[in-house]
Chains A and B, each alone.
Chain A
Amino acid sequence: MNNQLKKQSAFRRELYQRAILDSFVKLDPRWMVRNPVMFVVEVGSALTTALWVQALFGKGEAPAGFIGAVAIWLWFTVLFANFSEAVAEGRGKAQAEALRKTRQMTQAKKLKAPNRESKYELVPSTALRKGEVYLVEAGDLLAVDGEVIEGIASVDESAVTGESAPVIREAGGDRSAVTGGTRLLSDWLIVRVTANPGEGFLDRMIGLVEGAKRQKTPNEIALNILLAGFTIVFLIVCATLLPYSLYSVQISGKGVPITITVLVALLVCLIPTTIGGLLSAIGIAGMDRMIQRNVIAMSGRAVEAAGDVDVLLLDKTGTITLGNRQAVDLLPVNGVSAQELAEAAQLASLADETPEGRSIVVLAKEKFGLRGRTIGSSEGAPEGMRFVPFTAQTRMSGVDFDGTSIRKGAPDTMMALVQSNGQAVPPDLQTSVDSIARSGGTPLVVARNRSALGVIHLKDIVKGGINERFAHLRKMGIKTVMITGDNPLTAAAIAAEAGVDDFLAQATPEAKLKLIREYQSGGRLVAMTGDGTNDAPALAQADVAVAMNTGTQPAREAANMVDLDSNPTKLIEIVEIGKQLLMTRGALTTFSIANDVSKYFAIIPAAFASTYPVLTTLNIMRLATPQSAILSAVIFNALVIIALIPLALRGVPYRPLGAARLLRDNLLIYGLGGLVAPFIGIKLIDMLLAALHLV
């Protein structure tokens, strides 16, 4: 623990040392000119430094000490702004590096030759390159996208397609493509890799947090225009103040005209340096916060757009429901007792390691008090059990013992089995199967010795806490839409249970794309999470598209963000980060402009005191001398940048309270606060300067 703290503080020290060095490097005017506000400050600093040198030779417009002090604090203003950017950059880079190292990798069985007998070695999935082959066996995760060149197997693609039923994949034909992140349920496959995995998106991410390579986002550009507008206004104000001052001296016959030093000081105090200096850091920090939450954004634009999202499309499977269905009920048929059915169902599922199979064992235990009997010859269990695993050919699984064979499977397969025995399908079997399907569940028929015992009701289970997440989104003004391949009946049942606002059932890739376009043409901003190849067109169309890291390569390429945790409700955090980014910009702009009022009260009486002594009435802060007033304003202006760096990096907190409430709170804090705070700050600095006899 202590060690870790030490490590952290060492890391921080290194970060800050590097940032301090960078703030000087960034003084390069070619670099500064990208930020018009701070460029003006730099030019002003250079100008006052030249005036200071002139004063040293005894020809100055004011005492060299005063000009020098102003010059130093103007340079600090620029350096503080550069420092904020450098710190944000350093943190972002460090986080991206850490991510690169610790990123979870799936292991793949890389084959030396494309046949089953060949030896394999375990390699990380990221080491697989296009054209290489690997082996997958039942229970393995498919490492990367590829094409089956040998074997036939059932694959759970629910993580990718949203369809919970397993699909068959085999060599040749149009069922040969497999997707990374899916899981093999039975048999084995030999797969040839078709795409290089995860190629360099971490490198792109690092590019986004590096100031030099970073492109300004649209909103940042618009804000920069406004800030440049303010800067020009204040340039005009200060430039014309010199002729006004000359004229005033001429007509009143008293005093001396305003000095260039004071004009530059006034200019720097008035132009929005607080937001201008921190703007870049705010943008980079937004990206940093994404990385902290294990989200890799492909562009700053996407992060900004996230704040505007008003419709969110979510895949049902894996997002709203647990990836797999669970048994919730057992319906005996043909006069069989419930106990008898439960026992058979449990026996048939003992060796079934799928979540469905395990849930049947659990249900039988909880509802009928049947203890899960272990495989083999333990007490109570029939001797000599032989388990029949699910295969793609038989499409059923079960157990054989003592001449009894128990099977479970999909209704059509099982009815065929029963009929092959020469028996008629019991009428109540069909009724039960139908009623389960109607309620949104999946029926699984159990048979003993080819005669039907009853039906297992499998149901999608809505994730715990998901309801609250959707309520939270609703409060943020975001509409949630569930997308599922299920029939409308099932979809409606689950949508109601999960509390989404709307759903799209029997969704095809085309239907998803169409839905997104419809929302967009209505002016909505659509966010979508997806991971399957069939999601790729929709992801490409969505404004904010988050691909799961477990998703397929096409999905990740179509998206503008990748969630390394593959957590679909991460979008809530992503939206909040986007909103925080915008709010921080707005809040600091307001703060910066509100600050100006006090600076006028500090500088105007000081600047014209010699011409119009009566103007000292406006010195409501009662600052000690004209020089201390000007210096205090400049020092406050520089220090406030340093003071606000933590806020710029952390972001203004977002709470889903509705726009009116947010505006009121932020206006009170940053508007009114920005108006009042500098009066206090400038006065305190002035008192300190006077107490230390510095002016």
Chain B
Amino acid sequence: MNPYNWFQLIFYFVVLFLLVKPLGLFMAHVYQGERTFLDPVFGPLERLIYRLGGVRADEEMNWKVYAIALMVFNVLGLLAVYALQRLQGFLPLNPQGFSAVSPDSSWNTAVSFASNTNWQGYGGETTMSYLTQMLAMTAQNFVSAATGMAALAAMIRGLARHTTDKIGNFWVDLTRTVLYILLPLAFMLGLALVSQGVVQTFSQYQTATLLQPITDASGKTVTTQTLAVGPAASQIAIKQLGTNGGGFFNVNSSHPFENPTPFSNFLEMLSILLIPAALCYTFGKMVGDTRQGWAILTAMTVIFVALFAVNVWTEQTGNPAIAKLGVDIQQSDINPGGNMEGKEVRFGVANSALWATATTAASNGSVDSMHDSYMPLGGLVEMWMIHLGEVVYGGVGSGLYGMLAFVIVAVFVAGLMVGRTPEYLGKKIEAYEMKMASLILLIPVFTALVGTAIGVLTPAGQSSVLNPGPHGFSEILYAFSSASGNNGSAFAGLNANTPFYNTALGIIMFIARYWLAIPALAIGGSLARKKKVPAGAGTLPTHTPLFIAWTIGVVIIVGALGFLPALALGPIVEHLMVFAQ
């Protein structure tokens, strides 16, 4: 990494870490049901929502009821998104007159947005009406994020409380997350983005005259260009903040109307990790020991920085095959150098790699550069971030509850090594917690690897591959990994808008979201019932550098052991081939 890359990284993390404590503290207040400074604004609205919904805000649920409420809400939301797409031809706010989306694509998109994955098999500006974009996509961007955060809040309560079976009220957590956290943040970010030139309009697509007419493939001279516009800023703000990632435009945040300037790029990048990072502080605050939150945040950051360094190093090194063609890829005073294929010039290698690492680390899935065009090792970093279980920051809420499952496994083995039956934050980790934590670790591995196996075995899976060799394998592996991690980003080069991929990826996104959220709630429910063991001299401290290192080791080892063979046949062999020449 050159000094410029370091500067980008350090500046990014300084700003991020400055925001962690205030936002984390605020969110802790929200989840502990305390008054915040936003109460005068949203308090009446909150109470109105409860009255309309018939919710008794002071009645808490046990984990099973909580899980049922979460599932009911999400399945209904999924059906609504499906219906909106299928019926958009008959509905208003459709200036381009788009017709109904195909059933398999609608299913895929419905699951994708409900599960906070935001995998997009479709191209937004050529498929979805404004109404669908706003009512289905933007609304799901809020509530799917809020669902993950609510599940996390419930699990944390399980760790913080003792000898109770109540872990909170789903409807209250959902409402308060949207009103007090997501709406204000999205509003602020949306305004900032508009100031940078991100579009926000209901008017039709614009036609502009080209300065320089061109000839298309059929030999016709083209003099005009259609500029897709729409209510983009409002959706982009929440897609970044809620680790959704589903772009308004097909090319996501590399589109100049979605991400026009380096400053908008910085804000959007910051928003990717903002809430997941701050939730670590919220966690520490709620369990009464902020060191625990900082420890987890440190573990995430160490993994992030290490993998970012690999990514930026391999991108800055560039492609030897291109160098052989006589292209200067060496960095100099007048040449940024490196692998610029698939990257926007206004962002460059460092900001593209930073975004790519952050968006895969955080299960966001938005992109400002094309992951398919990264060097094999760069692509490996992005894929592996997903393989680690989306726990390096991870999705809002889901990242931390996934990480807590890893911490529970780490505590279990480390606890044994100090000669006690393991405990975390005073709670004994027993067979039930191990069962649930194992599920959380196991299911993404299962869906990603088995999905890829089906993809490479079936003609339907193989026929979508546009690139030969190991890179084609990487594309299939990436698609199924992205769905399994509820990430949503894609290696382009794979035609995923086919019935096979729409259906298969839809099923995987569904399993990967809810078969993880429910065990996480189950852990919370089980821990809430337990007594709290006071810490003593023999208790394993879980905030020390040693324990942080151990947790990192567990995350890396589990991620490596599960995916190394598959990666060897994809990016690793591709890397060796590129540099063997």
Contact = CB atoms under 8 A, between A and B. Distances in A.
A225 B431 contact: yes
Contacts of B536: 310, 477, 479
Interface stretch (B41-49, B307-315, B446-454, B500-508): B446-454
B576 A617 contact: yes
A221 B576 CA distance: 43
A219 B420 CA distance: 10
B8 to A, nearest CB: 32
B50 to A, nearest CB: 36
Interface stretch (A15-23, A79-87, A228-236): A228-236
B426 A223 contact: no
B297 to A, nearest CB: 20
Interface string B416-443: 1111110000100111011100110110
A602 B430 CA distance: 35
Interface string B517-536: 00000000000000111101
A586 B414 CA distance: 7
Interface string A565-583: 0000000000000111011
B546 A659 contact: no
Nearest to A581: B419
A582 B416 contact: yes
A658 B537 contact: yes
25 contacts: A226-B409, A226-B412, A229-B434, A237-B561, A237-B566, A246-B456, A247-B473, A251-B472, A270-B561, A304-B421, A310-B538, A474-B537, A477-B537, A583-B417, A583-B419, A596-B561, A597-B561, A604-B568, A614-B576, A615-B573, A658-B538, A659-B418, A662-B419, A663-B547, A663-B550
Interface string A583-618: 101110110011011001000100010001011011
B533 A663 contact: no
B330 interface: no
B420 A582 contact: yes
B450 A222 contact: no
Given A229-B438, A521-B531, A240 B566 contact: yes
Given A521-B531, A670-B417, A659 B539 contact: yes
Contact of B541 (A304, A585, A660): A660
Nearest to A226: B434
A226 B437 CA distance: 9
Interface in B540-579: 540-541, 544, 546-547, 550, 553, 557-558, 560-562, 564-566, 568-569, 572-573, 576-577
B76 interface: no
Contacts of A671: 553
Interface string A268-298: 0010000000000000000000000000000
Nearest to A241: B565
A243 interface: yes
Contacts of A608: 568-569, 573
Nearest to B162: A523
A446 interface: no
B473 A614 contact: no
Nearest to A521: B531
Given A223-B434, A660-B541, 5 more contacts: A246-B457, A251-B469, A474-B537, A586-B414, A658-B538
Interface in A215-264: 218-219, 221-223, 225-226, 228-229, 232-234, 236-237, 239-241, 243-248, 251-252
B537 A476 contact: yes
A579 B550 contact: no
Interface of A is mostly: helix
- Central interface residue in A221, A251, A308, A522, by most chain B CB within 10 Å: A251
Contact of A233 (B435, B453, B561, B572): B561
B457 A243 contact: yes
Contacts of B534: 522-524
Contact of B413 (A523, A590, A658, A660): A590
B318 interface: no
Given A477-B536, A663-B550, A244 B565 contact: yes
A667 interface: yes
A654 interface: yes
B210 interface: no
A614 B571 CA distance: 13
Nearest to B419: A579
- Central interface residue in A475, A615, A663, by most chain B CB within 10 Å: A663
Contact of A582 (B421, B438, B446, B473): B421
A587 B414 CA distance: 8
- Central interface residue in A228, A523, A654, A664, by most chain B CB within 10 Å: A523
A247 B413 CA distance: 37
Contacts of A627: none
A307 interface: yes
Given A248-B470, A600-B564, A523 B532 contact: yes
B445 interface: yes
A243 B417 contact: no
Contacts of B539: 477, 659
A467 interface: no
A666 interface: yes
A38 B235 CA distance: 53
A245 B453 CA distance: 10
A587 to B, nearest CB: 6
B364 to A, nearest CB: 26
Contact of B420 (A245, A307, A615): A307
Interface of B: 409, 412-421, 426, 429-431, 433-435, 438-439, 441-442, 445-446, 449-450, 452-454, 456-457, 462, 468-470, 472-473, 531-534, 536-541, 544, 546-547, 550, 553, 557-558, 560-562, 564-566, 568-569, 572-573, 576-577, 580
Contact of A308 (B420, B431, B553): B420
A670 B566 CA distance: 28
A604 B470 contact: no
Nearest to A658: B537
A685 B396 CA distance: 49
Given A218-B430, A226-B438, A580-B419, A245 B569 contact: yes
Listed from nearest, the 6 A-B pairs whose CB atoms lie closest are: A586-B416, A579-B419, A477-B538, A229-B438, A477-B537, A586-B417
A582 B414 CA distance: 10
B321 to A, nearest CB: 15
A584 B478 CA distance: 39
A88 B533 CA distance: 33
A667 B550 contact: yes
A266 B123 CA distance: 42
Given A237-B562, A580-B419, A659-B418, A232 B557 contact: no
Contacts of B470: 248, 251-252, 612
A234 B561 contact: yes
B557 A594 contact: yes
A585 B416 contact: yes
A219 B416 CA distance: 9
Nearest to A666: B417
Contacts of B435: 225
A659 B537 contact: yes
Nearest to A258: B565
Contact of B416 (A218, A237, A589, A664): A589
Contacts of B457: 243, 246-247
B514 to A, nearest CB: 19
Contacts of B560: 597, 600
Given A243-B456, A523-B533, A667 B561 contact: no
- Central interface residue in A248, A304, A522, A525, by most chain B CB within 10 Å: A248
A654 B416 CA distance: 12
A579 B533 contact: no
Contact of A660 (B438, B439, B441, B546): B546
Contacts of B469: 251-252
A222 B569 contact: no
Interface in A311-354: none
Contact of B419 (A232, A654, A664): A654
Interface in A470-508: 474-479
A218 B568 contact: no
A244 B434 contact: no
